[in-house]
Amino acid sequence: MTATDSTTGAEIGRARRRKEDARLITGRTRWTDNIVLPGMAHLAMVRSPVASALISSIDVSAARSSSGVLGVWTGRDLDAEQGDLPCAWVITPDMKHPRRPAIAVDRVTFAGEIVAVVAARSAAEARDAADLVAVEYDDRPVVLDMTEALAPGAPLVHPELGTNENATWVFDSGEAGTGQSAQAAIEAARSDPDSVVIERTYRQQRLVPAFMEPRSTVVDPTGDQLVVWSSTQVPHVARFLMSVVLGLPESKIRFVAPDVGGGFGGKIHLSPEEVLTTLVARRLRKPAKYTESRSESIVSAHHGRDQIQKITLSARRDGTVTALKVDLLADMGAYLGIVTPGVPILGAFMFNAIYKFPAYRFSCTNVFTNKTLTDAYRGAGRPEATFAIERTMDALAAELGRDPLDLREQNWIRHEEFPFTTVCGLVYDSGNYEAATAKAKQLFDYDGLRREQAERRDRRDPVQLGIGVSTFTEMCGLAPSRVLGSLSYGAGGWEHAAIRMLPTGKVEVVTGVSPHGQGHETAWSQIVADRLGVPFEDVEVLHGDTQVAHKGLDTYGSRSLPVGGIALVKAADKVIDKARPIAAHLLEASADDLDFEAGRFTVRGTDTGMSIGEVALATFAAHNLPDGVEPSIDADATFDPENFSFPHGTHLAAVEVDTETGRSRIRSYVCVDDVGVAVNPLIVEGQVHGGLAQGVAQALYEEARYDESGTLITATFVDYTLPTAADLPNWTTDRTESPATTNPLGVKGVGEAGAIASTPAIVNAIVDALRPWGVDDIEMPCTPQRVWRAIQAGSTSGGAQ
Amino acid sequence: MGTTRISVTVDGVTYTDDVEPRTLLVHYLRERLGKTGTVVGCDTSNCGACTVHLGGRSVKSCSVLAVQADGADVTTIEGLAGPDGALHPVQQAFHEAHALQCGFCTPGMIMEAVDLLNDNPDPSEEQIREGIEGNLCRCTGYHNIVKAIRQAARAGTAAPTSAGGAA
């Protein structure tokens, strides 16, 4: 085998530099938009500028005769073959579920919906022709606000449904038998002088996932076969859905995710554009490509968050929490995407967070509006839950005059209480909130900053200091298939991996997850190098092409490592199991007398042995194998997790708020995350950094805003105020390690942690700075204007200053 | 539509082409020259993913017409490494510091960083953050990008790139 500096058995935990980087830093990338095929047609979409209208007429004649145009199609032209884009999560039996066409036929329900598609020789000619398509709209009234949408007589987004309510989903710990009745506990608290009831309403603004690579699709039809390259997180799911939507045999479709430039949930779907590119390519019997512009992406690709959260929390005056009740409104937008109605449910079991609530009730009403659909965005449901509970715990601490960390500690699950069954019935397998908090407080200098805060208050410094706390947990590693089934989700949550032992001793790893920036090629190499005792450099990771990685459920919900990584371990163990009898035969020993360590089988008590690579070569030759043993030590495994994983951490933010201008500046940010065992600490840190940035962006900067006619007015990065390097601080990250007990690597997920934890830490800090002004809440994003207004309102209503 | 003849040196190779006057430099690079290392991340000149060097200075190649590059020297990410494939110190620093995840913003970010260091070989953290303000990243939270640029600065790099690499 190749001699390298790899020390087998020591890869997990090592800060390996990434294998992926070589092509990415030199421009030798394989983005979908880079693909050019002979005779390829380029597509452009015509999109509705209005949010709700009947399509009166579409005149495509000028476009059709424009230079280089191969064809122009409207919804009427394609309706018979376009099918219905599916939603995989029917959350209640009576859920209202509108048909979602890839291209609008008779009416449009949001601004940005596709009404015509043009194919031309070049992208520029397609765009030119698209501008010549004349569409007349007969405007219908729009409904944009969730409360108005539910009011009697509101305009209906989908008149055939008879309502704008998609579904109402309820969990009640009293009814489920996992706890007491929250309603009863809160009623009792209201009349108990020794109890307090905190009621708050929070708004989760609408966000744009904002992956950097615009979505792109190339489709090459050859006879009955279709090859689809697409900028997607979910090539396997998309292939399945395309087969269902278009009625094509799944076996005829090959889906490839080449280099994919970020996703954050924004690329988990079969998109209208993927369907239309396929339909046009089939009609033209030529390859076709569609790449969205950024403006099109922001307007029409799915958004995230957009909830109104009404929170009721009761506690005894000694600080012990007694009940939590959550009433949500969640904006679906105009259609249901793959998991749109289920996003709030992914948060439903997380509002109780790390605290020992004895009673809990959750109710969510999903609402249709004439806006872009929402769906999964980094954290999907859990950031919303974490924000609400962490804001409310701070409100309780303020009400009781307690330190927010002390109050949390009084209520959280102590490390010796794991495994702990929550009021939702989830079993948290491991964690140590004390350890993470102690480390974070020390790194942050919590006591010193509290002293400085008091001094600034005393001297009435115009720049006040706020300290924000967020002690989060989340559920990830989606997911145990049985649990998904019990929630009426339309698929399972297993993952697949295969290992091919090449005769030269090199190892090919096939994984069903589909990376788009996470560094799986590096981390998977480390896992296999350790497990099989082969050099890191000798492992090649293959993914993202359904012809190569034929089976998988792809990447989202921080599932790749805790589910896909474990499938990999199980496949590696099978390789060793298959190699053992062959090695025993060749070493003329009993299989029971062989030890396998650091990549070698050795006969116990001797120095006789052979490497797994030598076994691979002998198996390839197959000249001398034991009777009845197949000539292969390749193996695969499909792993279904027994539980979710529950990373947690303590995030502390120090934010300076200029009370004269309303400007907030993050002075320091410390987080100590416990994600179990870290396979590659460098990658873990990078995931946390990026998550923090997105969470902070929600707290301070970003919002997808519509005007009263339903036009998105933040359709560029500048208008959306996506943060730049100058808008964000350095992060201080550290870890504690409570290994997961439900998988052999002890790993938890890390992809979403930073985004889940950081938003409430920042808003808590700003509110903490301004409590002397009577400020109790500031709506996100906490722009200088909103902060300044809150200070003014607080001052006039009798705040301290 | 009429065309205009231009002559441009890109990554050390001179090309003479007829282009539509409206053709953006980034489209010329990608579609005519196959320089797909330079990418398009937006249509409003905000993201900086398409940053290249024109006459030794960074530009967003989506906000330059190909005809404006007539007679000029252009360096893209593909021409940054040495003729033997040796990485530019900024490329190396991005790898070492884990300054990229999905990598889509990376070519533009690296070209901008090289330009920044050409101007100021020893920038402070704040100067780096302001210097790359025109280049957006969604994966890294910028922390490791800033770190990589500081590392490259400490390595005393700031190698001029206007001469471009060999083909």
CB A710 within 8 A of CB A50: yes
Are B106 and A25 within 8 A, CB to CB? yes
Contacts of A213 in chain B (CB under 8 A): 39, 41, 102, 104
What mean pLDDT is reported for chain A? 97
Decide: residue A138, CB within 10 A, 0-12 exposed, 13-18 middle, 19+ buried. Answer: exposed
Res A801: pLDDT: 44
Res A371: pLDDT: 98
Are A717 and B78 within 8 A, CB to CB? no
Contacts of B45 in chain A (CB under 8 A): none
Provide the shortest C-alpha distance from residue B24 to chain A (in Å): 11
Would you list the DSSP string of A309-338?
EEEEEEEETTS-EEEEEEEEEEEEESS--S
Decide: residue A693, CB within 10 A, 0-12 exposed, 13-18 middle, 19+ buried. Answer: buried
- Using a CB–CB cutoff of 8 Å, tell me whether B167 touches chain A: no
Are A21 and B46 within 8 A, CB to CB? no
Q: Dihedrals φ, ψ of A315, to 5°?
A: -150, 155
Distance CA A327, CA A200 (A): 11
- Using a CB–CB cutoff of 8 Å, tell me whether B163 touches chain A: no
Are B141 and A689 within 8 A, CB to CB? yes
Q: What is the pLDDT of residues A52-101, one digit of tens each?
A: 999 999 999 999 999 999 999 999 999 999 999 999 999 999 999 999 99
Would you list the DSSP string of A154-219?
PPPSSGGGSSSEEEEEEEEHHHHTSSB-HHHHHHHHHT-TTEEEEEEEEEEEEE----SSPPEEEE
Q: What is the pLDDT of residues A543-589, one digit of tens each?
A: 999 999 999 999 999 999 999 999 999 999 999 999 999 999 999 99
Are B141 and A212 within 8 A, CB to CB? no
Are A693 and B140 within 8 A, CB to CB? yes
In the DSSP assignment, the letter for residue A616 is H
pTM, whole model, 2 decimals? Answer: 0.96
For A100-110, b/e burial (b = at least 16 CB within 10 A) is bbbbbbebbbb
What's the token pair of residue B141? 């939270």
Q: Is the pLDDT of residue B160 over 70?
A: no
Find, among A380, A382, A641, A348, the residue nearest to A492 by Cα. A641
Res B164: pLDDT: 40
Q: What is the pLDDT of residues B92-109, one digit of tens each?
A: 999 999 999 999 999 999
As a whole number of Å, the end-to-end CA separation of chain B is 32
In the DSSP assignment, the letter for residue B17 is E
In the DSSP assignment, the letter for residue B87 is P
Res A795: pLDDT: 73
Question: Who among A31, A693, A724 is closest to B133 (CB)?
Answer: A724
- Using a CB–CB cutoff of 8 Å, tell me whether B43 touches chain A: yes
Q: Dihedrals φ, ψ of A596, to 5°?
A: -115, 115
Contacts of B134 in chain A (CB under 8 A): 724
CB A405 within 8 A of CB A412: no
Q: What is the pLDDT of residues A195-254, one digit of tens each?
A: 999 999 999 999 999 999 999 999 999 999 999 999 999 999 999 999 999 999 999 999
To 5 degrees, how large is the angle CA A753–CA A754–CA A759? 115
Alpha-carbon distance values, A801 to A225, A326, A462, A775, A792 (Å): 72, 34, 11, 11, 10
What's the token pair of residue A304? 């995230």
Strand, coil or helix: what is A661?
A: coil
Distance CA A781, CA A771 (A): 18
Q: Is the pLDDT of residue A262 over 70?
A: yes
Q: Is the pLDDT of residue B41 over 90?
A: yes
- Using a CB–CB cutoff of 8 Å, tell me whether B87 touches chain A: yes
Mean pLDDT across A718-728: 98
In the DSSP assignment, the letter for residue A121 is S
CB A616 within 8 A of CB A580: no
Are B142 and A683 within 8 A, CB to CB? no
Residue type, B116: L
Are A21 and B129 within 8 A, CB to CB? no
Residue B99: closest C-alpha in chain A: A686
Mean pLDDT across B63-67: 98
Q: How many CA atoms lie within 13 A of A393 on its CB side?
A: 31
Contacts of A208 in chain B (CB under 8 A): none
Res B1: pLDDT: 66
Are A21 and B105 within 8 A, CB to CB? no
Decide: residue A193, CB within 10 A, 0-12 exposed, 13-18 middle, 19+ buried. Answer: exposed
Contacts of A127 in chain B (CB under 8 A): none
In Å, how far from its chain's centre is CA A520? Answer: 16
Q: Is the pLDDT of residue A470 over 90?
A: yes
Find, among A21, A4, A23, A163, the residue nearest to A96 by Cα. A163
CB A209 within 8 A of CB A378: yes
Res B155: pLDDT: 87
Neighbours of A595 (CB within 10 A): 12
Does A479 sit behind a cis peptide bond, omega within 30 degrees of 0 on the bond before it?
Answer: yes
Q: How many residues does chain A have?
A: 801
Residue B136: closest C-alpha in chain A: A724
Provide the shortest C-alpha distance from residue A690 to chain B (in Å): 4
What's the token pair of residue B83? 């003729």
* Rg of chain A taking only CA atoms, in angstroms: 28
Distance CA A364, CA B155 (A): 55
Contacts of B46 in chain A (CB under 8 A): 294, 716-718, 722
Mean pLDDT across B117-146: 98
Residue B146: closest C-alpha in chain A: A725
Are A26 and B37 within 8 A, CB to CB? yes
What's the token pair of residue A728? 């964000």
Res B96: pLDDT: 98
Q: Is the pLDDT of residue A800 over 80?
A: no
Distance CA A115, CA A300 (A): 12
- Using a CB–CB cutoff of 8 Å, tell me whether B137 touches chain A: yes
Per-residue pLDDT band for A172 (boundaries 50, 70, 90) equals very high
What's the token pair of residue A790? 């809150």
Find, among A47, A97, A84, the residue nearest to A335 by Cα. A97
Are A726 and B133 within 8 A, CB to CB? yes
A623 membership: H or E segment, kind and range: none
Contacts of B142 in chain A (CB under 8 A): 693, 724-725, 728
Question: Who among B20, B43, B91 is closest to A26 (CB)?
Answer: B91
Strand, coil or helix: what is A656?
A: strand
What mean pLDDT is reported for chain B? 94
Res B163: pLDDT: 42
- The ipTM estimated for the assembled molecules is 0.97
Res A1: pLDDT: 34
Asked whether the CA dihedral A736, A741, A745, A750 is positive or negative, the reply is negative
Q: Is the pLDDT of residue A799 over 70?
A: no
Residue type, A43: L
Q: How many residues does chain B have?
A: 167
Strand, coil or helix: what is A82?
A: helix
In the DSSP assignment, the letter for residue A499 is E
Decide: residue A16, CB within 10 A, 0-12 exposed, 13-18 middle, 19+ buried. Answer: buried
Are A26 and B78 within 8 A, CB to CB? yes
Question: Who among B36, B102, B133 is closest to A262 (CB)?
Answer: B102
Q: How many CA atoms lie within 13 A of A274 on its CB side?
A: 32
**pLDDT: is A6 or A290 the higher one?**
A290
What's the token pair of residue A646? 């529950």
Among A25, A122, A671, the strongest candidate for a mutation testing the B interface, having the largest count of B CBs within 10 A, is A25
Distance CA A333, CA A340 (A): 9
Q: What is the pLDDT of residues A665-680, one digit of tens each?
A: 999 999 999 999 999 9
What number of C-beta contacts closer than 8 Å exist between A and B?
177
**pLDDT: is A794 or A67 the higher one?**
A67
Whose structure tokens read 């919900």? Answer: A557
Sheet containing strand A253-256, edge to edge, reads: A69-74, A114-120, A41-47, A288-291, A216-222, A225-230, A253-256
Q: Is the pLDDT of residue B166 over 80?
A: no
Q: Is the pLDDT of residue A49 over 70?
A: yes
Find, among A219, A213, A305, the residue nearest to A270 by Cα. A219
Decide: residue A526, CB within 10 A, 0-12 exposed, 13-18 middle, 19+ buried. Answer: buried
CA torsion, points A440, A444, A445, A450, in degrees to nearest 10?
Answer: -100
What's the token pair of residue A287? 């390859």
Are B78 and A689 within 8 A, CB to CB? no
Question: Own/partner pairs for A445-450, CB < 8 Å, 24+ apart?
Answer: A446/A405, A446/A652, A449/A654
Strand, coil or helix: what is B56?
A: coil
Distance CA B103, CA A261 (A): 7
Q: Which of residues 90-129 of B touch A (CB under 8 A)?
A: 91, 94-96, 98, 100-107, 110, 125, 128-129
Q: A606: which residues sit within 8 A by CB, 6+ positions away? A: none
Q: A562: which residues sit within 8 A by CB, 6+ positions away? A: A476, A477, A641, A645, A740, A743, A747, A748, A749
Whose structure tokens read 């904006």? Answer: A331
Per-residue pLDDT band for A798 (boundaries 50, 70, 90) equals low
Q: What is the pLDDT of residues A767-778, one digit of tens each?
A: 999 999 999 999
Are B138 and A27 within 8 A, CB to CB? no
Q: Is the pLDDT of residue A3 over 50?
A: no
Whose structure tokens read 């659909």? Answer: A373
- Helices in A219-271 by DSSP H: which ranges? 235-246
At how many degrees (to 10) do helices A753-770 and A784-796 cross? 40
Q: Is the pLDDT of residue A387 over 60?
A: yes
